[in-house]
Amino acid sequence: MKRLPLAQRRAHLADVALRIAARSGIESVTIRAVAREAGVSLGTVHYCFDDKDELLREMGRALVGVAVDPVRGASPSSGDFRDVLHAAVDGLMEGLRSMEDRRLLSFELATAGARSSAMTDVAQAHIDQVSDMAVGVLTELADRADVRYRIDVALLARLVVAFIDGLELRWLVERDDDATLEAFHELADVIASYASPGVEEVPVDATDVATTVVPDTVIVATVTPDDTAPPEPPAEAVGTVTPTVPDTPAEPDAAPQELAVGSPGAADVVPE
């Protein structure tokens, strides 16, 4: 076998291991079996992987990669969120049909830890890989439609993965394409119900409130009576003094007092 960069060599050996597992089950995957199938020495496999567990983890990553590719490929780059989701589940169904052996291996790898404590770490690693993949795909689909989720995306991913696992496992037994696809589209509507359009709402923190300046704002000030200037007299009253009427009548013999010109107040009095 020709020399390859380490990353390519690891990917090739993981693919060989997946072929062995698809043919004979996860338990049949060993370092020796992979070396024999790939036509390389044991030393080459050990150079790429420290042990069988690391090889199994790489197999899990490869399974996740092939599962997500049809979903991303079928989804439009933008548009209505429901349309994006329904296109995605069409891709999910197509991937299930074309790679059913890989989907079965994914279940075997995930449940291996329940049968053997020696496989617990490997099984948990694969479950984490699937969860991370679901978070990434859900986030990417939401970004394509410019929406945000009303619940934590990791929690939504956990629900979606459980939903998909149940449907795919049943399909592997029943092979009912129509019923499975119909259920996948129901799942798309469920996901859409958790979405809100626009920018994600951010809780307001009283210690971190930005001041917004509104241009052309009219400020109306309320002035207390103490600060109020005396009211201007009506226009028609300028230059006129209204005489004060005494409370008691004037003496009968008293004649009205006339102000001499030039005396104080004479210019301000209008004669009757």
Give tens-digit pLDDT for 78-112: 999 999 999 999 999 999 999 999 999 999 999 98
Q: What is the pLDDT of residue 132?
A: 97
Type of residue at 109: L
- Three-state SS at 148: strand
CA 45/CA 37 separation, integer angstroms: 11
Once rounded to an integer, what is the mean pLDDT over residues 5-28? Answer: 94
Once rounded to an integer, what is the mean pLDDT over residues 59-72? Answer: 94
Confidence of residue 3 (pLDDT cuts 50, 70, 90): confident
What whole-number percentage of the chain has pLDDT above 70? 72
Q: Would residue 208 count as lying in a domain?
A: no
Q: Is the pLDDT of residue 249 over 60?
A: no
Tokens of 159: 């629900």
Q: Would residue 118 count as lying in a domain?
A: yes
What's the Rg (C-alpha) of the chain? 43
Q: What is the pLDDT of residue 1?
A: 53
Do 37 and 69 lie in one domain? The reply is no
Once rounded to an integer, what is the mean pLDDT over residues 225-250? Answer: 50
Q: What is the pLDDT of residue 223?
A: 46
Q: Is the pLDDT of residue 258 over 70?
A: no
Once rounded to an integer, what is the mean pLDDT over residues 207-223? Answer: 45
CA 94/CA 74 separation, integer angstroms: 9
Chain centroid to Cα 176, Å, comes to 34
Do 160 and 27 lie in one domain? The reply is no
Confidence of residue 174 (pLDDT cuts 50, 70, 90): very high
Q: Would residue 115 count as lying in a domain?
A: yes
Do 18 and 92 lie in one domain? The reply is no
Tokens of 126: 């694969």
Q: Is the pLDDT of residue 201 over 90?
A: no
103-162: per-residue pLDDT in tens? 999 999 999 888 888 899 999 999 999 999 999 999 999 999 999 999 999 999 999 999
Q: What is the pLDDT of residue 197?
A: 83
Type of residue at 95: G
Q: Would residue 92 count as lying in a domain?
A: yes
Type of residue at 52: K
What stretch of H or E contains 197?
A: strand 195-197
Do 16 and 33 lie in one domain? The reply is yes
Max intra-chain CA distance, the chain? 147
Q: Would residue 259 count as lying in a domain?
A: no
- Three-state SS at 119: helix
Using an 8 Å Cβ cutoff, are 137 and 69 in contact? Answer: no
Q: Is the pLDDT of residue 20 over 50?
A: yes
Query: Domains in the chain: how many in total?
Result: 2
DSSP state of 150: S
Q: What is the pLDDT of residue 87?
A: 98
Q: Which domain holds residue 111?
A: 52-197
Nearest alpha carbon to residue 54 among 41, 65, 45, 44: 45
Do 80 and 94 lie in one domain? The reply is yes
Q: What is the pLDDT of residue 115?
A: 87
Mean per-residue pLDDT over the chain, rounded: 82
Stated length of the chain: 272
